[in-house]
Amino acid sequence: MAPRAFVALDLETTGLDANADAIIEIGAVRIEQERVTATFSTLVNPGRRIPLRVQQLTGIRDEDVAVAPSLAMVLPELRAFVGPDVVAVVAHNAAFDLGFLRAAGVNFQRPALDTFELAGILLPGQPSYSLGELCRALAITLDDAHRALDDALATAELFVTLRQLLFSVPGPVIQTLHTAGVDSNWPPMLLIDEAWDRLGRQTQAPARTDLSELALQPAPLPLVPETLIRDGGPPLTPVPEAELLDFFAADGPLAAQFDGAFEARPGQVEMARLVLAALNDGEQMLLEAGTGVGKSLAYLLPAALWSLRNQRRVVIATNTIALQDQLIDKDIPQVQAMLQGADGGELHAALLKGRGQYLCVRRLHAWYQGRALAPQELSVLAKVLVWLPATTTGDVSELFLPSSGERAVWSQICSDAATCHPGRCGGPNRRDFYLDARRRADHTHLLVINHALLTVDIGNEGRALPRFSHLIIDEAHHLEDVTTDAQTHMVDWRVLDAQLARLALDGALFGQVATLALHHRDGPVQELLAQTAGSARRAQRALRHFAEQLHNFAVNHTDLRTDAGYAQRLALDGRMRSQPMWSQLEIEWEQSDAALGATVRRLTELTAHLAATGWREEALEGALLAELEGLAESLGELHGHTCAIINGPARGEQVRQVAWLEYTPNAGQESQTLLAAAPLYVGDVIGGTLVQRLRTCVLTGATLRSGADFRYIRERLGLWDAHADALPSPFDYRTSTLIYMPDDLPQPNHPSYQRAVDAAIIAAATAAGGRTMVLFTSYAHLRATAEGIRAPLDRQGITVLQHGSSSRRRLLREYRATERAVLLGTRSFWEGIDLPGEQLSVLVIVKLPFAVPSDPLVAARSAEFENSFMEYTLPDAILRFRQGFGRLIRRASDRGVVLLLDSRIWQKRYGQAFLEALPACTVRRASMANLGEEVDLWLNKE
């Protein structure tokens, strides 16, 4: 094959909208035989001012482009640079750059290869797929990021690297992708076909690839006593407290790991003692451990000792992936090292996630066989096949599937409770990684899971997890929200439409069933297939019409704003259901209800016939039958939930569910208006169904109290009988933390409040030299503040980083790498952020984090209390406030200022409750005029 020429290009623009913003710089490089042979670069006069945030990002100022050529003058040169011999254009996030060029009338009429997509395929498991991070990971030079030519050169080198990686992919993977992508217009097929040619084009039809042989074999299961795998066994043996305390001694195993730098933490020792007592005695416990206590080790060590002594499993549930990773990669290995040679043998630990996280090779093989795949499907197939020979877990978190469409594809190839079991998912092309993980979980002492899987186990009556009677729940303040989410039914019309589309006669599922029915000469199946497919088509039409009517209802409702850039909820309460427009919707639903119900009945008749004719006994037929049965169950559940939401509770029936309509402007027609319902209260599920069936349950976290006691979280989680203790942080907040409240600040509803907030942040950040994080309760307020402070801080050499402009992970990385910066964040930044030392010196809390009172779930739960503000709204806000406060002081040596900009704290009677919930700090109320000086004095105090 003759050498091919490619052109890599990059643009810098005034914004992100190709139809409203303008190009300010173009860079392009020509690639031939793996090297750059020519470059093209020019600034472009956009005919408008460049926004300050773009100037900060790119370094391109208005004066730089004032004498630059216009885009009309530049484009002919760019077209000439991309000559007729160029086979493809290369870009990172190609849709962005080519979208701007198309808006300017430029279409190169050749494939566009996106290094962002190619990296997602060929480099699974990267923490980030931004150009800068990929270059850093691959040691590619990128001297001046966000300048077009430098980015284009880096993109070219990245492309060359990725192309070479593709040529090293195992032959069976290339063969499978080449076969699956025949006649596809997916751009990467250009490179896959090239790799196929390098392997040597075969004229005969390719043999089937056994995908299971591509995967690494699972590690042997550890040999453990039967008591760990099954219930029963000898009576439990308490672990003496003295044995635990020996590990924390100055000459103990823990100190030995710190090479002389060990400092005993009394709070950690006390927490470990309490956890051991709960395990020994069989107790339920709420245990708050302040920042710096070292709670992970404080519960892991007693759990490990007790589990080894008794050969019984202890399950540890966390909310965040970050904490799971910390436990598995750092804390548990530390405990295992300390327990080397301990009684009970080797300590085994494992991580188990929800079933949908794991790949089923059997479902993957059945999914892509015998049909033409769309470009997005080919992209997912490529990602999975390249990753398959390298993964030991089959966990989707190791893949990069950023879009909802890709995640929808994953749902068709992951392990599935309805269709996957050891008898079916074994042998050629049939390995199920969830079953591997589940077997390993059976053989482990410490099993780490997340809150979501714990709630699934509750809903499945204990079938999702190995049997256990001892549980530690970390980050327990999230448990109510996670349990609520797990029991929330969301009706997304796009999902429902996709489910029905699987019943098309020419689709992958019904197509295979029809082929097998023809082989078995089963005439009734052909008729049932046709009837079910016809019913599904009618249901699709009816549901699309209803979704459109629901959308019109939302658009025309006075309580919803069509110009808002965020999701809005409308409660479907008695007042709403009494309106004539909603009554009309209920009438409209009747046709969809009948069509969907008929489809479920037809599909159920089909599965019953297949089961009666012996399909369950055959391998392929049994798998297809299970798939159909799972689909019938899923559609039936969706039908039932939708009916319940639309029709509401019967007259006189006790309300246990809160229903709402969710409207998101500017989304796709079918997905922008959803229906949802959530449980009014989950404390009976947590405190009753879960905790009461366990011998021991310890719920811990840094913020469990909303004042001096645990009353609020006891009520929310149904834990009135649990023992409760609080271990304060060991940090000296009085000397480390100044709480500053500008007492001349206007109230939040005052017209001059925004200007005052801007001025306060500017003064504090200037005094601190950046090193500031600002926490907001709304994106709208964040955006307004960003615009107000950006220019003044730019003149001080301080960069403003804004939540919403990039992912949280990337923003934190940029903040740490920028010497002088201010980071603006909303709700997800209120916790889980660790910026120790001089990375963060000033924390600004703009408003008290009260829940939105109009939210249907908040409003319905509030209505259950006599004094909803004092018993529900205020305690909830105090917990969130404490989480935000905890971002500042992360180490004993840290020092900083908390700036509170909500005057309700000192002007409203309830405001004192927020301050009383914090550790004893130095508190100062003074004027705005003194703010900068006070910050400077506190941070530089000797």
Name the residues annotated as catalytic.
146
328 alpha-carbon distance from chain centroid? 19
Report CA-CA distances (Å) from 515 to 21, 137, 500, 624, 628: 53, 48, 20, 12, 15
| R_g (Cα) of the chain, nearest Å | 30
Cross-strand pairs, 471: 315, 697
d(CA 699, CA 454): 13
CA pair distance 680, 406, nearest whole angstrom: 33
* 918 half-sphere exposure, CB direction, 13 A CA radius: 28
SS3 assignment, position 444: coil
Amino acid sitting at position 496: L
Q: Which residues make beta-bridge pairs with 70?
A: 45
- State in Å, rounded, how far the first CA of the chain is from the last one: 71
Q: Which residue has the tokens 């402007």?
A: 665
Among 168, 622, 180, which residue's Cα sits nearest to residue 380? 180
Sequence-separated (6 or more) residues with CB below 8 Å from residue 712: 705, 706, 871, 875, 876, 879
- CA distances (Å), origin 509, targets 515, 624, 689, 693: 10, 7, 38, 41
Residue 590: CB atoms within 10 Å: 12
* Residue 828 to residue 776: CA distance in whole angstroms: 10
For 7, residues 6+ apart whose C-beta sits below 8 A from its C-beta are 28, 29, 30, 31, 81, 82, 86, 89, 90
DSSP E strands in 192-344: the ranges are: 284-289, 314-318
Question: Quick one: residue 864, left, alpha or beta (phi over 0 = left, psi -120 to 50 = alpha)?
Answer: alpha
φ, ψ at 289 (rounded to 5°): -125, 115
Tokens 């007042």 label which residue?
575
Q: How far apart are CA 879 and CA 917, in angstroms?
A: 9
Q: Are 444 and 350 in contact (CB under 8 A)?
A: yes
* CA neighbor of 607 nearest in space, from 529, 548, 685: 529
Concatenated DSSP letters of 239-251: PPHHHHHHTTSTT
Residues 6+ apart with CB under 8 A from 327: 296, 300, 316, 318, 448
Q: Are 493 and 544 in contact (CB under 8 A)?
A: yes
Rounded to whole angstroms, the Cα distance separating 600 from 868 reads 43
